[in-house]
C-alpha cells in the first residue's frame, strides 16, 4: 500500500512520519519545533531524504500552524514566517502540499472519526501554542475563497485587554487564550510575586501541577482562558450551526478537565446544547490530515502523468 511522507509542525512540536491510504501512521518522530524558517526547511529536507529510501513515489504533506494562502504562502508566527514560500524553498524532488494544521486535523476527523465521517458538519479547534480552526460542512473541508476559513484564533474577543497576537491583533482569541498567551501571563505574574515557591520563573509547563495543587491564581487563569475559548467558539458556531465541536492541541491534552467546564458554561449561556469532544485520532490527527492532502495531490497529478508522452 502506498505511503506518503508527512509533517505536523506547530509552535511546540515538529512531528514527521509515514501515512498510508487507511490513515495508519508509522515511523513517527517528534521533537521540539525549530524557531527559524531556514532551520525548518533543513529539517524537512533531511526527513524527506531519509524516508525516500523506504517509499515508492511518495507525495509530501505538510500541516503547519499559521495562515496558509491558496498559493502556498505561509505566515507562521511561531516559526517567524511571513508570506514564506515554503514549498518553493524546499525544492523537493517529490510533489508537496502545505496546509494549515487545524484544517489538516479537521480533514482527518471528517474521514476517519466514525462518529463524524460522512455528511457531518462540525468545527475543529486546535488550542496549543496558538489557536486555529477548521470547518467541515456536509462532510467536506470548507477552505474559503482565500484558503483561510476557520481562523478562529484571530476573532476579536476583548479589545479592552492589553495583549496582542503575533500578527498584531489586539484582544483576539490567540492573544488571550493560546499557550503563548498563558505562558506570557504566567511569567508576568511570577515577576509580580506570585508562585514564590517556584525557584525559577513560572511557565506553561508548571500550570498542570499548579492546577492539581488547587492554586487559586492558576485556576483563575484557566477559567478566563476557558471563557474566552468558549466565546470565540460560539462566534463561529452561530454562523454555521455545527453538530459538534472537536478539540485538539497541547492545552487540550494537558488541561481539558479544567477548561471544559468553563467552555461548556459559555455554551449554556448562549442557550445551546452542543457536544464537545477531543480528537478521536489523538496526536496523530495532524499527520493523518497531511497524508490525506498528499493523497489528493497524487490523485490530481496521476492523470497528467498518465497522459505524458
Q: Do residues 70 and 145 both lie within one domain?
A: no
Pairwise CA distance, residues 115 & 287, whole Å: 20
181 part of a folded domain: yes
User: Do 136 and 173 have their domain in common?
Assistant: yes
Give bridge partners of residue 67 from the DSSP assignment: 75
Query: What would the pLDDT profile of 214-263 be if each residue is shown by its tens digit?
Result: 999 999 999 999 999 999 999 999 999 999 999 999 999 999 999 999 99
Whether residue 290 sits in one domain with residue 154: no
Q: Which pLDDT tens digit goes with each residue over 5-23? A: 999 998 888 999 999 999 9
Let me know if residue 72 belongs to a domain: yes
Examine residue 112 and state whether it is found in any structural domain, yes or no. Answer: no
Residue 146 lies in a domain: yes
**pLDDT tens digits along 160-185:** 999 999 888 999 999 999 999 999 99
With respect to residue 99, please indicate whether it lies within any of the assigned structural domains. yes
Residue 291 lies in a domain: yes
Domain shared by 267 and 126, yes or no: yes
Question: The domain spanning residue 7 has which CATH number?
Answer: 3.30.420.40
Answer whether residue 111 is part of any domain: no
- Both 187 and 71 in one domain: the answer is no
- Domain holding 165, by residue range, is 117-278
Give the integer Cα–Cα distance in Å for 158 and 176: 8
Burial string for 284-295 (b: 16+ CB within 10 Å, else e) reads bbbbbbbbbbbb
Does 161 reside within a domain?
yes
Comparing 307 with 214, which gets the higher pLDDT?
214
Same structural domain for residues 178 and 37? no
* Three-class SS of 157-211: CCCCCCCECCCCCECEHHHHHCHHHHHHHHHHHHHCCCCCCCCCCCCHHHHHHHH
pLDDT band for position 91 (50/70/90)?
Answer: very high
Q: Would you say the pTM of this structure is higher than 0.85? A: yes
pLDDT at 304: 57
The pLDDT of residue 89 is above 80: yes
Where do we find the cell 502556498? 72
Same domain, 162 and 272: yes
Please state, in angstroms and rounded to a whole number, the distance separating the CA atoms of residues 241 and 195: 42
CA distance 293 to 77: 23
β-pairing, 13-20 with 25-32?
A: antiparallel
117-126: pLDDT as tens digits: 877 899 999 9
User: Same structural domain for residues 132 and 67?
Assistant: no
Do residue 245 and residue 126 come from a single domain?
Answer: yes
Regarding whether 270 and 130 lie in a shared domain, the answer is yes
Same domain, 32 and 58: yes
Is 165 in the same domain as 274? yes
Tally of domains within the chain:
2
Amino acid at each position: 500500500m502506498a505511503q506518503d511522507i508527512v509533517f505536523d509542525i506547530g509552535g511546540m512540536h515538529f512531528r514527521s512520519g509515514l501515512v498510508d491510504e487507511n490513515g495508519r501512521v508509522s515511523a513517527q518522530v517528534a521533537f521540539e519545533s525549530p524557531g527559524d524558517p531556514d532551520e525548518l526547511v533543513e529539517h524537512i529536507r533531511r526527513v524527506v531524504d531519509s524516508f525516500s529510501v523506504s517509499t515508492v513515489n511518495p507525495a509530501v504533506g505538510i500541516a503547519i500552524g499559521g495562515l496558509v494562502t491558496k498559493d502556498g504562502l505561509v505566515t507562521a508566527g511561531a516559526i517567524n514566517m511571513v508570506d514564506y514560500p515554503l514549498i518553493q524553498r524546499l525544492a523537493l524532488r517529490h510533489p508537496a502540499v502545505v496546509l494549515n494544521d487545524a484544517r489538516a486535523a479537521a480533514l482527518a476527523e471528517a474521514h476517519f472519526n466514525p462518529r463524524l465521517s460522512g455528511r457531518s458538519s462540525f468545527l475543529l479547534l486546535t488550542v496549543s501554542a496558538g489557536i486555529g480552526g477548521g470547518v467541515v460542512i456536509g462532510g467536506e473541508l470548507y477552505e474559503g475563497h482565500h484558503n483561510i476559513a476557520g481562523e478562529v484564533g484571530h476573532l476579536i474577543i476583548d479589545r479592552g485587554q492589553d495583549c496582542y497576537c503575533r500578527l498584531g491583533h489586539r484582544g483576539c482569541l490567540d492573544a488571550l487564550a493560546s499557550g503563548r498567551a498563558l505562558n506570557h501571563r504566567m511569567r508576568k505574574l511570577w515577576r509580580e510575586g506570585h508562585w514564590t515557591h517556584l525557584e525559577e520563573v513560572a511557565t506553561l509547563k508548571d500550570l498542570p501541577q499548579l492546577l492539581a495543587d488547587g492554586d487559586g491564581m492558576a485556576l483563575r487563569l484557566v477559567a478566563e482562558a476557558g471563557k474566552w475559548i468558549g466565546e470565540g467558539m460560539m462566534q463561529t458556531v452561530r454562523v454555521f450551526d455545527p453538530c459538534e465541536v472537536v478539540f485538539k492541541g497541547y492545552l487540550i491534552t494537558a488541561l481539558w478537565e479544567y477548561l471544559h467546564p468553563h467552555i461548556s458554561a459559555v455554551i449554556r449561556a448562549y442557550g445551546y446544547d452542543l457536544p464537545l469532544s477531543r480528537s478521536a485520532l489523538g496526536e496523530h490527527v495532524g499527520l493523518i490530515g497531511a497524508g490525506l492532502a498528499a493523497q489528493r495531490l497524487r490523485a490530481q497529478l496521476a492523470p497528467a502523468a498518465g497522459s505524458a508522452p
